[in-house]
Structure 1
């Protein structure tokens, strides 16, 4: 069989073991995912949990494909950018079997905010049991925009939640609101006593850092053991930041972008503003960044010290070099596929896994071509 005929045959299969790009090898593990948002690997090669923005949590297993929707998922507000968002396993999953979810939740007035909770994954992998909500973004202000929702455990007993400003710019600077913030909770969902604003009157005790617009990717840097976050700018000015205790990351006072209308951001005072932290890295022309993952596996040495970030608008995976806190863009991959990239994760096998944000979204397994 010719190489051309082989590629045509493989492309027709649901699971395609060898679709090639110029610089990477891509396997399509699953199609027909309706706007997938995030994924989490179960231990012992038990499969991959995938959230679909419309409100379903599904299990993908090699050789079995996609499960029916799991039972016990909270009711989500699936409008605009809202819906079922991130999924992560508790650090003690082997004992507790807790699966954490973030999602958009509607209030009595029809506006929504981000909520976070957890349930126990049943032994037969078909349901979440006794789901309980431990956090709600308040007040609820979103009419469909800027939920954030990324969840990261730091390995030191804390959970970080990235929250968008619901497209209400000024709230990112308001310490009495949970819009435009990174919050820090314990692994049980409680407020740590050493959070920076615990004893400040009028401030929310959950807040870790603020001045954030619309965070879409967050991960622990495995070499510095610090939390990294990316966020959408407006028209221009997508950023990478290291959210630190009590620090202000500027939005909307400091930005490298402008309004979608072409006019300046009304509150903006410049690209650098006293009292705010400049971004670690920014794009003047927004790729619309999404999920992010550091490569710290042994499978592909050429990917060591690389940071992978999805791009929705640019429809690529951006590959960056990381040297301490210095970041430089290395290359871009998967651009030939013309698909919005929603999430990227490094699997326990050392491969890069990617979700595409389409009504017929895909789960991809990616490796270097050589």
Structure 2
């Protein structure tokens, strides 16, 4: 999700950066030179999923601030359908205005500037099951020169699947020299892969969201890459300067922990990293991601288990990082974009969040490290991903397959 989980392409070359990392390879040999993913400790594949979060051991302190639910209003947009896809997941708008779209079954499509659609060969084999499949797609920061593209997906593994990150070179018709850079490990069953890719503002490293696969406790296990946001080099290794860099293994890769299903991941021009994630029954979150922080899942949440069994609210553990905004009832957030275009000047500096069950587009106004819901528009469709086009139009990728362009009503 280039614009759904990152700033628009031109903003990736900002001088500010959240951290340092290895220099980027910017030639065609980079994909072929990628190292083998770091081996994980052998674990038996997970074959069943728990019903509920672990029983609470702390007294509940109700959350009283930050609730973001509001009534949706009529959208102020003219809407035009640009294309239709089959179960699309993510869109990456390229510098020339064309776009790459992933379909969960394992296909990559190219929407050309003239509106025609082409099949792109070379996608990896995926396990298209229970929220898994071909997931995010992200052109490298130096894509104009290197033509490198990163993708995340559920890779078939013994006993189930694992989140994987791969990189290949885009030829215009294919991804070639595709290599797996990173695997989450902890193979087995479960959805909630997260899988969003965001490049650091200096373009020298990347951040990858990894969901907890509906297993709850791995989000608090620092030996597992599930329920984390990872900070990696462009070759898929632990980035230097991470909070636990000296510890090795998964700990060295980890930027933050305690996440459930992190779907949106985007840097703003001030260098802050924002993330939104799906909570359980209620408790969807918008978080400001800080290095080394624990965001609480499944110990605390402003939602409940699907069975109705309560989970203590975030204030019950003030030592754990609380969301800036939260939604209960759920909106089921999909993709997220930072808007910087000219077409909607009033929205500049805002986050745009697509809602799946909420069937809305939500605008969040930012002021430093604070966030406020400014608008919620009823779009009448499940919004899977959000992107900003080069001309400043807003593109929505819907679960019904449509790619829709939003422009101001005249």
Report if TM-score (shorter chain) is over 0.5: yes
Q: Which has the higher contact order (CA 8 A, sep 6+)?
A: 2
Give 2:174's aligned residue. 127
CA distance in 2, matches of 1:249, 1:290: 19
Cα distance per residue 1:160-211 (max 9 Å; x no partner): 0001000010110000000100000112322223211222377532111100
CA displacement at 1:23 relative to structure 2: 1.5
Moved more, 130-139 or 317-326: 317-326
Give 1:81's aligned residue. 131
What does 1:1-370 align with in structure 2 at a 5 Å threshold? Answer: 22-31=75-84, 33-45=85-97, 47-67=98-118, 69-109=119-159, 111-122=160-171, 125-141=172-188, 143-156=189-202, 157-200=204-247, 204-222=251-269, 224-265=270-311, 268=312, 271-335=315-379, 338-358=380-400, 361-370=401-410
Preserved contact between residue 197 and residue 203 of structure 1 (Cα < 8 Å): no
Preserved contact between residue 148 and residue 168 of structure 2 (Cα < 8 Å): yes
CA displacement at 1:273 relative to structure 2: 0.7
CA displacement at 1:270 relative to structure 2: 5.2
Runs (5+) with no aligned partner, structure 1: 1-20
Q: TM-score, normalised by structure 2?
A: 0.79
CA displacement at 1:214 relative to structure 2: 0.4
CA distance in 1, matches of 2:248, 2:254: 13
CA distance in 2, matches of 1:107, 1:184: 23
Q: TM-score, normalised by structure 1?
A: 0.87
CA distance in 2, matches of 1:22, 1:257: 28
CA displacement at 1:334 relative to structure 2: 4.4
Cα distance per residue 1:25-47 (max 9 Å; x no partner): 1111012x1111111122233x1
CA displacement at 1:290 relative to structure 2: 0.8
Residue 171 of structure 1: SS of its match in structure 2?
helix
CA displacement at 1:119 relative to structure 2: 0.3
Residue 104 of structure 1: SS of its match in structure 2?
strand
CA distance in 1, matches of 2:124, 2:144: 23
Residue 205 of structure 1: SS of its match in structure 2?
helix
The count of aligned residue pairs is 336
CA distance in 1, matches of 2:248, 2:165: 25
Cα distance per residue 1:266-287 (max 9 Å; x no partner): xx47544142101111112110
Runs (5+) with no aligned partner, structure 2: 1-73
Give the aligned CA root-mean-square deviation in angstroms.
Answer: 1.6
CA displacement at 1:348 relative to structure 2: 1.4
Q: 1:90 to 1:259 in 2, by over 3 A?
A: same
Per residue, is there more strand in 1 or in 2? 1
Preserved contact between residue 205 and residue 231 of structure 2 (Cα < 8 Å): yes
CA displacement at 1:320 relative to structure 2: 1.8
Residue 204 of structure 1: SS of its match in structure 2?
helix
Moved more, 297-306 or 238-247: 297-306
CA distance in 1, matches of 2:211, 2:243: 19
